Structure 1
């Protein structure tokens, strides 16, 4: 079994199954994984390094794992291809131990932390069990250290007990002398007790008199409590009457709300039938062309290609989904503003292809009209056919994509939901004045990533 095969076996997920979550790694195993991955980073070609780790690879060896630990761990967990490249180099350096881990075995004499780190990177069959075994071994070492600490503490307590026993012996001798002295004082105290006994009897007589007074006051307090309880019962009766009245009011409000709902339904039904009658009276046929088609013909550099460009048919993606769920919504996308923010490392042709393909999926899912606008008509050469439901437009010479977007928005009828995706503040402010809903580029990028 090759290291690459081990990674594919460990990460493979059957059809319809969800990938298992990353295991919780013991801290020594996590630190070891980051250490070996940091050592491998400089050996990887620049095009094989994930973008977040290219800067980390330039760190000094003694700072690479310490300062770049978090991004290294994130890439290892989320990028199987990067993890496979790291595993192939680490397993080659590990020799026989790496071969044993790839085969799914754990040599008895091997360091469990090293075995778990290799298993996490290579991910052979049963690699999670190797990681769990390493965690158990680490916990066992911690428990062993704790037991040793307890033994040391017990020995220290025994030494202290022996010392305390010697001190107690000395104290006992002192106490014997103290007892003799106390016996002498006891005689004196007995005499004092007799005196105090007389005082106590006098005090008890005074206490009996106080008890009699207290009983009298308790009788008065009982009568006051009875009066209070009667008043409380009267208050509860009044509260019950108030609650009954409130229930009647709530029932009346519920009935009134039901009447309002019926009136609203009747009003909406009347409006709907009136709209059907008006459409029948005006004899309006379904439109075979949309407002954006006319803008494409009037202002794009290649007006004859407008029909073919349509195809044959804030930053929260949830907000984008809500807007696209509105009836007859029109999604207008500032092409390069989105692609350069989401995948600017690609060529312009690859950026356009990736965005248009993703928008085709959205058009297929929602059934909405989708228009994507790019700067520069000369970029249109070699563009593949647009997916169904997606219109692709390029601004003509001397005009920007922002201008074309504003023209598309102005061409739409008032009241139609228009969603404009652009992180350009000027574009957002301009289309908002014409009734469109501006959203940031991140909302579309996150929506495409989710799809």
Structure 2
């Protein structure tokens, strides 16, 4: 085998293979050539080793091809003699395969990479064809590996697709079931909406009917009020007739006076009770002037006197006493409006206790119904029990004490005297429109202070 390498044509001759450019080796062939050369380096003497490879020959076998690969490839391409020595040793180690390569043939069962590496090193006739054939085989194997990988990838994708298809079928079945359930619920909701719409129409019809009935009742109430006014006028006429009869009776004979007096008393008692009932229903204020005052103004002269006294205003406690003397009067107090005006230097708890205590004494003396209203936002839990006859209220969240007072006034029946204590002009105007008597906070404070 060594003779084959030595009998090769010297480099530079016209028929020498080295005269042609080096072929482009496939990467597997190049790595195999470097591996064969690295394995043969220790077998060469120091004189046979090129200077650049003497250090590489001392490397460990597993590092020789990896670290000295570039130097080995360069030396093989540029040193034909070195290549012939390596080729002779590689052909000798290859045995029958080396002999076949020297003959220019490559066994069909042989490794094409090994055949190409030996052909490159030995360079027999037709070695380029062997290298090209090995390259084609390597590329074909690479393409085959790529195709096989693509096939495996396609099969994997097909398996995943089948799995995904199965999952999609299951999900589709679930979605169909869910769609059926949603359609059923939609049908139920439509039926409920239809029933609710029907109920709404019936409710609206009832509301319209109630509004019509309310309008009718308002008309009846207006007519009843008109009849009441007419009855009041008739009663006043009867009262005038009774006064005339009483005057005539005083001028009649003594023997008939007792009978006339009895009849007059009976008539006046009847008229008086009717007048009290009408005053309660109409919530009339007590008269500031008496009938004699009108006679004095028109038919008599008044003697010179001092300046007239001041008319009682909304802060006069006497005015409050007159209103509380009315039958079944109801006193409603704006709590903090009174306490902050009368004793605002105290804490809220002390203000409430003082006002409620004073109202308890007033309720005990008058026997009237008393209600005191505070803003609920400042309510303190643990408030002591209210005195007998005094109702203590706190407005709920979202409602002020003023609104609760107006609600209390509107709840009272027409004709009942309701007295509201508050210096708030808006509160006073609001309750006055509903028939209540508004008085300032000072009237109650002065009344309690007098007590």
In the superposition, the TM-score normalised over structure 2's length comes to: 0.38
**Which structure's relative contact order is higher, taking Cα pairs within 8 Å and 6+ residues apart?**
1
Highest CA radius of gyration, 1 or 2? 2
